[in-house]
Amino acid sequence: MDHVRARITRDGIRIYEDADFAGMRAAGRIAAEILDAVAAMVMPGTTTAAIDDFITAEIKRHGVTSATIGYKGYRHASCISVNHVVCHGIPGAPIPMSKSETISRDLEKRRKDDALKDGDILNIDVTVIVDGWFGDTSRMYAAGTLSRMAERLITETYEATMRGIAAVKPGNTFGDIGHAIQSYVEGKGMSVVRDFCGHGLGRVFHAPPNVLHYGRPGSGPVLEEGMFFTIEPMVNLGRPETKVLADDWTAVTRDKSLSAQFEHSVGVTATGCEIFTASPAGKYFPTWG
Ligand code: MF3
Ligand code: CO
Ligand code: CO
């Protein structure tokens, strides 16, 4: 009898086979290539609708499928979350106004459309399905000149994400991942969003467990070789609370502070983990410059 590892843990987490890593690698690579290609488009004046159209075209060119079009009624190939949008920003929708734009009496300074402005930061999140396997990844981009505060937020969010990933190995727990992220972020005076989390994935988009980006060491399910999941912390410069706008998708920080996010899909190996969504071009961070 061949060795078969496939099973579901007591926490409902699927354990995949060695051969399944190839499927996730292929899906993750295409998602990452699309995020590499989109970098050249991000500049002041570009609309989020144009970015999403480009992503739709790239998905088609690769001969693969968008996981988000048709997902719970969502109709776009990406989520594009600008400035204080935490996640699930809708391409083509007017970009929510920042604090200064809201109070400005100068109508020219008020945002009315989906065009990027100088100094905007944005997360672009793409999920593709390749031969039935889901590749889910996001990273941060900047339009024009980056403020020092925004650069700090993005850099620390990237570092927090990689520290979470560094905690992935058999025998560690999901709480160890969350703790690595939370302790780093809070040590920098920033906050971790509690209202959204990472997730198991594989031949499905969202599966157990909820991957929390905060937690206590040793808490939560034990990591085992063959688990596939995302790590996708959202980090705010201000308070962690979020709210969802009337469109039922766009999540923003309640205090309108800037927010950043990175996301990788990973698989637990015998000694650590494989990042399925690593950038072939080496542009995961920074995407600019
Ligand atoms: N890609 C997102 C995630 O990281 C999910 C987006 S669902 C959508 O889980 F419908 F908003 F696109
Ligand atoms: Co995800
Ligand atoms: Co995603």
The ligand that comes nearest to the alpha carbon of residue 89 is 1
Asked if residue 110 lies in contact with residue 104, where contact means CB atoms within 8 angstroms, the answer is yes
Q: What residues contact residue 173 under an 8 Å CB cut-off, 6+ apart?
A: 217, 218, 219, 220, 221, 222, 223
- For residue 223, the model assigns a pLDDT of 98
Short-list 231, 254, 202, CA closest to 16 = 202
Q: Do β-strands 251-253 and 273-275 pair in parallel, antiparallel, or remain unpaired? A: unpaired
Per residue in 168-182, pLDDT tens?
999 999 999 999 999
Locate tokens 């989020």: which residue? Answer: 48
- Whole-angstrom distance between the N-terminal and C-terminal Cα of the chain? 54
Residue 5 has pLDDT above 90, yes or no: no
Q: Is 144 exposed, middle or buried (0-12, 13-18, 19+ CB in 10 A)?
A: middle
Largest Cα–Cα separation, the chain: 74
Binding pocket residue ranges, ligand 1, CB within 6 Å: 68, 71-72, 74, 79, 88, 125, 127, 136, 230, 232, 263
Residue nearest to atom 12 of ligand 1 (CA): 68
φ, ψ for residue 172, nearest 5 deg:
-70, 170
- Phi and psi at residue 72, to the nearest 5°: 50, 35
3 Cα to the center of ligand 1, angstroms: 35
How far is CA 166 from each of CA 17, 132, 286, 287, rounded to the nearest angstrom? 22, 27, 19, 21
* pLDDT of 1 above 60: no
In angstroms, rounded to a whole number, what is the distance separating the alpha carbons of residues 106 and 135?
A: 43
DSSP string, 128-141: EEETTEEEEEEEEE
The 10s digit of each residue's pLDDT in 27-83 is: 999 999 999 999 999 999 999 999 999 999 999 999 999 999 999 999 999 999 999
Q: In percent, how much of the chain has pLDDT > 70?
A: 99
Does residue 3 have a pLDDT over 80?
no
Per the prediction, the chain carries an average pLDDT of 97
Under the banding of pLDDT at 50, 70 and 90, the label for residue 116 is very high
Query: Residue 4 pLDDT > 80, yes or no?
Result: no
Atom of ligand 1 nearest to the CA of 230: 4
CA dist 184 and 161 (Å) reads 10
**pLDDT range class, residue 11, cuts 50, 70, 90:** very high
Helix, strand, coil percent content, the chain, rounded in steps of 5: 30, 25, 45
Ligand 1 pocket test target in 68, 85, 124, 211 with most atoms within 8 Å of CB: 68
In the block, tokens 């594989």 appear at 202
Q: What would the pLDDT profile of 211-247 be if each residue is shown by its tens digit? A: 999 999 999 999 999 999 999 999 999 999 999 999 9
The answer to which of 103-112, 130-139, 187-196 has the lowest mean pLDDT is: 103-112
SS3 of residue 87 by DSSP: strand
Q: Dig out the tokens for 70 from the structure.
A: 């048709």
- Per DSSP, the three-state class of 86 is strand
Q: Which atom of ligand 1 is nearest to the CA of 125?
A: 1
The secondary structure element, H or E, covering residue 126 is strand 121-130
Nearest CA to ligand 1 atom 11: 88
| CA separation for the pair 160, 259 (Å, rounded) | 14
Which residues line ion ligand 2, judged by CB < 5 Å?
Answer: 136, 230
- DSSP-assigned letters across all residues of 51-66: HHHHHHHHHHHTT-EE
Residue type, 85: V
Residue minimizing CA distance to atom 2 of ligand 1: 125
Question: Which run of H or of E encompasses 33?
Answer: helix 20-38
Tokens 């969003």 identify what position? 193
Q: What is the pLDDT of residue 68?
A: 99
Closest ligand (CA of 137): 3
Query: Could you tell me the distance, in angstroms and rounded to a whole number, from the CA of residue 77 to the centre of ligand 3?
Result: 11
Substitution site in 88, 211, 276 for ligand 1 pocket (most atoms within 8 Å of beta carbon): 88
